Structure 1
Amino acid sequence: MTEAARPADLSLEGPIVLFDGVCNLCAGAVRFIIPRDRRGRFRFASLQSEAGRRILAHVGLALDAEDPAEWSLVLVANGRGYLRSAAALRIAAGLDRGWPLVAVFLVVPAPLRDLAYRFVARNRYRWFGRKTACELPRTEESSRFLEA
């Protein structure tokens, strides 16, 4: 696909949540975020998609394919990529109602925060299951998902 033929929605404008498209927990996280982001700030792409790979490359992230904790949730905002608990907490900070209060945990050192995150991320397929393919968003939400 040529540069001119790429969809306009692949710009890095606004925060983008990259998620493991075959993980039930990760897809559930996206379904959790959408109704709590009434302003529609967050956009989404699966990490396995062409869009996801291009966005990762643009912010200089190369995720370790051997580490499943890396392949769960990534936030790209303000030209930076955030991984693990930093991504989850920054996403919570951008949600409506009381969710931004969760961001107070960003003061906890990342290695401590990431212990629990990595434990859940490494076991997510066993506990929550795995799909054979990334599910398509509902029609009313499709404009928030980036295409390849």
Structure 2
Amino acid sequence: MEARNIIIFDGVCNLCNGAVNFIIKRDHKQIFCFTPMQSEAAKDLMSQYSLVNDYGDTFFFIKQGQCYTRTDAALEICKNLSGLWPLLRILSLLPRSFRDYCYNWLGSRRYSLFGKRDICMVPTQDLRSRFID
């Protein structure tokens, strides 16, 4: 599992599920795999990387043994998406504190703006191999 590019996301958040679907559609090389934050695999990874669960308003991206959060995670993921999405890396020129302030503002309001599911998303049979239980 360690050699994979793993995205840990909030499985009950509609915005987060939308982001996962967005990434899947633009990940033509299929380099990303996913696990909902509520899964045992995610809990094990979060423990391994000493990630405290009070990051409930973010997601985590683990790549080559390094863990990225917030805008660093989003920008790192964009590097590998098809289309013009890698150009968003230019945003890394902005101070992280400013980028993360905007990210945190949206993250703290994601349920009220986008809604919440009762259960984690269940991937289709075609996508099942991209998800870690």
Whole-angstrom distance in 1 between the partners of 2:30 and 2:49? 22
Structure 1: unaligned runs, 5 residues or longer: 1-10
How far apart are 1:68 and its partner, in Å? 3.6
Tell me which residue corresponds to 1:23.
13
CA spacing shift, 1:63–1:109, aligned 2, 3 Å: farther
Whole-angstrom distance in 2 between the partners of 1:53 and 1:122? 21
Task: Check whether the contact 2:71–2:103 (CA below 8 A) recurs between aligned residues.
Answer: yes
- Residues 83-129 of structure 1, C-alpha deviation per residue, up to 9 Å, x if partnerless? 11111111111111211111121122210101110011000000100
The match for 1:134 among 120, 125, 131 is 120
The match for 1:108 among 90, 94, 97 is 94
Whole-angstrom distance in 2 between the partners of 1:14 and 1:62? 21
Secondary structure of the corresponding residue to residue 127 of structure 2: helix
How far apart are 1:21 and its partner, in Å? 0.3
TM-score between the two structures when normalised by the length of structure 1: 0.85
Q: What aligned pairs does 1:83-98 form with structure 2 within 5 A after superposition?
A: 83-98=69-84
How far apart are 1:14 and its partner, in Å? 2.2
Whole-angstrom distance in 2 between the partners of 1:13 and 1:140? 22
Query: What amino acid sits opposite 1:82 in the alignment?
Result: Y
Tell me which residue corresponds to 2:22.
32
* Number of residue equivalences: 133
Query: What amino acid sits opposite 1:56 in the alignment?
Result: M
Task: Check whether the contact 1:61–1:81 (CA below 8 A) recurs between aligned residues.
Answer: no
Identity of aligned residues (%): 37
Considering only aligned residues, what root-mean-square deviation do their CA atoms show, in Å? 1.2
Task: Check whether the contact 1:59–1:79 (CA below 8 A) recurs between aligned residues.
Answer: no
TM-score between the two structures when normalised by the length of structure 2: 0.94
Tell me which residue corresponds to 1:60.
50
